[in-house]
Structure 1
Amino acid sequence: MERIGLIAGNGRLPFLFASAARAQGLEVVAVAHRGEVDPALASEVASLTWVRLGQVDRIVRAFRDAGVTRAAMAGGIGRVRAFTEARPDLGAVRILSRLRSVRDDALLRAVADYFESHGVTIVAPTDWLAQALCPAGHLAGPSLNPSQEKDVALGREVATLLGQADVGQTVVVRQGHVLALEAVEGTDEAIRRGAKYGGAGAVVVKRCKPGQDLRFDLPAVGPRTLDVMKEVGATVLALEVGKTVLLDAPELFRKADTTGISLVGVP
């Protein structure tokens, strides 16, 4: 059986990838970051090796020992944890020493290049997850009113600029005012911060960075995102078509309908 490597971070995306790869006849060899990955992933893969953030050479050895030549990155790494708990090994030090910038995209591309120089090609998880990518149009919940459509358009415009700066993927808007931009705190806290200033009725827009490398850092949303939106009274979630991964889509759509949150896919 052909093997595929999985470099796992937090959230449901590693589980979604493992399930899809198995369904396509692949044996999944996973490397999981401590403090980020749900230990239940071990039951979804053929083998699992635990590493600390920054142990690049340990990942290379795990894949080499298992005969893995292709691997996908799936799931996030908390940025605060990355600052405080990283344990860089010699491989990580070599990668960092060659970088002019430690922005997300530059760092992840450098990591991918390092793996490839050691015989492991990094591939896009979406090659196995096409069915989980956001479709176009109204997906669930109430239809948008004209004011909400304007807020979505503004959010898309601002998210494009935010992505060009390689800062974040999420913008919170209400009645033509930008309430919050995602930074190191992540999507959920950006939503809460926006609602703190704008109150109920906020519109949340999430999109890829322009020129996004689809091998890593794809936007992903699931039912938990809607739980946070319901908590603060946000009413619209607009996602980029074809580049946002929907985690547990049936439950996501059901929850949008029952909570009255509008879910739309926009180009």
Structure 2
Amino acid sequence: MERIGLIAGNGQLPFLFARAARARGLEVVVAAHRGETDPALEREVGHFAWVRVGQVGRIQKVFRQAGVTRAAMAGGIGHVRALTEARPDLGAVRIISRLRSFRDDALLRAVAADFEAQGITIIAPTDFLGEVLCPEGHLAGPALKPAQEKDVALGREVAVLLGQADVGQTVVVRDGHVLALEAVEGTDETIRRGAKLGGPGAVVVKRCKPDQDLRFDLPAVGPRTLEVMEEAGARVLALEVGRTVLLDAPALFAGATARGITLVGVR
């Protein structure tokens, strides 16, 4: 049985990838990040090892010992944890010493290149999970109002600039005013911050960076996103078609309808 590696972060995406790989007859070898990955993932895979953020060499050793030649990164790593709790090993130091930029994209591409130099090809998790990518059109909840359509357009325009700077993927807008841009705090806190400034009725836009490498850091939303939106009073969630991962799409659509939140996929 071929083995495939999974560098697991937080959230449900590692579970979705592991199940899809098993359905294809692959045995999954997981390198799970302490404090991020759900321990329940261990029950769903063949091999499981804990690592700390920054232990690149240890992950490579786990995969080499298991005979892994392909691996995917799935699930996020909190930016704050990455900044405060990283434990770089010699493998990470080897990569860092060659970097000219420490922005997310440059760092992740350098990590992928180093894995490939070690004989382990990094693939996109969506190679196994095409069915979880956002479709186009109205997906759930009330139809967009004209003013909301304008806010979606503005949010997407600003998100392009945010992505070009390699800062974040989420923009919060209301009535033509940009309320919040995502930085290290993540999507949920961006939504809360925007709602504090603009009050109920905000429009939340998520989209990829213009030159996004689909192997890592794709935007992802799930039922938890809707809970935060309801708490904050946000009314619209606009997502990029084909490049946003929907975690538990049936529950996401049902939750949006129940909460009166508009969910829309925009190309």
Helix, strand or coil: the match of 2:76?
A: coil
TM-superposition CA deviations, 1:67-124 (whole Å, max 9, x none) = 0000000000000001110000011011111111100000000000111110100000
1:189 alignment partner AA: E
Matches within 5 A, 1:25-40: 25-40=25-40
Q: CA deviation at 1:44?
A: 1.2
2:2 alignment partner AA: E
Q: Name the counterpart of 1:250.
A: 250
Matches within 5 A, 1:1-267: 1-267=1-267
TM-score, normalised via structure 2 length: 0.99
Q: Percent identity?
A: 79
Helix, strand or coil: the match of 2:204?
A: strand
Q: Provide the C-alpha distance between the structure 2 equivalents of 1:115 and 1:231, rounded to a whole number of angstroms.
A: 41
Q: Provide the C-alpha distance between the structure 2 equivalents of 1:24 and 1:150, rounded to a whole number of angstroms.
A: 43
Q: Provide the C-alpha distance between the structure 1 equivalents of 2:73 and 2:92, rounded to a whole number of angstroms.
A: 16
TM-superposition CA deviations, 1:198-249 (whole Å, max 9, x none) = 0000000000000100000000000000000000110000000000000000
Q: Provide the C-alpha distance between the structure 2 equivalents of 1:236 and 1:183, rounded to a whole number of angstroms.
A: 20
Q: CA deviation at 1:56?
A: 0.6
Helix, strand or coil: the match of 2:7?
A: strand
Helix, strand or coil: the match of 1:157?
A: helix
Structure 1 stretches of 4+ with a deviation exceeding 3 A read none
Helix, strand or coil: the match of 2:20?
A: helix
Helix, strand or coil: the match of 1:134?
A: coil
Helix, strand or coil: the match of 1:154?
A: helix
1:158 alignment partner AA: V
TM-superposition CA deviations, 1:137-193 (whole Å, max 9, x none) = 000000000000000000000000000000000000000000000000000000000
Helix, strand or coil: the match of 2:82?
A: helix
Q: CA deviation at 1:8?
A: 0.2
Q: Provide the C-alpha distance between the structure 2 equivalents of 1:193 and 1:77, rounded to a whole number of angstroms.
A: 21
TM-score, normalised via structure 1 length: 0.99
Q: Provide the C-alpha distance between the structure 1 equivalents of 2:171 and 2:62, rounded to a whole number of angstroms.
A: 38
Q: Give the gaps of 5 or more residues in structure 1.
A: none
Helix, strand or coil: the match of 1:19?
A: helix
1:61 alignment partner AA: K
Q: Provide the C-alpha distance between the structure 2 equivalents of 1:18 and 1:133, rounded to a whole number of angstroms.
A: 16
Q: Provide the C-alpha distance between the structure 2 equivalents of 1:19 and 1:246, rounded to a whole number of angstroms.
A: 16
Q: Provide the C-alpha distance between the structure 2 equivalents of 1:61 and 1:162, rounded to a whole number of angstroms.
A: 36
Q: Provide the C-alpha distance between the structure 2 equivalents of 1:151 and 1:249, rounded to a whole number of angstroms.
A: 24
Q: Provide the C-alpha distance between the structure 2 equivalents of 1:186 and 1:41, rounded to a whole number of angstroms.
A: 23
Q: Give the gaps of 5 or more residues in structure 2.
A: none
Helix, strand or coil: the match of 2:214?
A: coil
Q: Provide the C-alpha distance between the structure 2 equivalents of 1:20 and 1:140, rounded to a whole number of angstroms.
A: 26
2:189 alignment partner AA: E
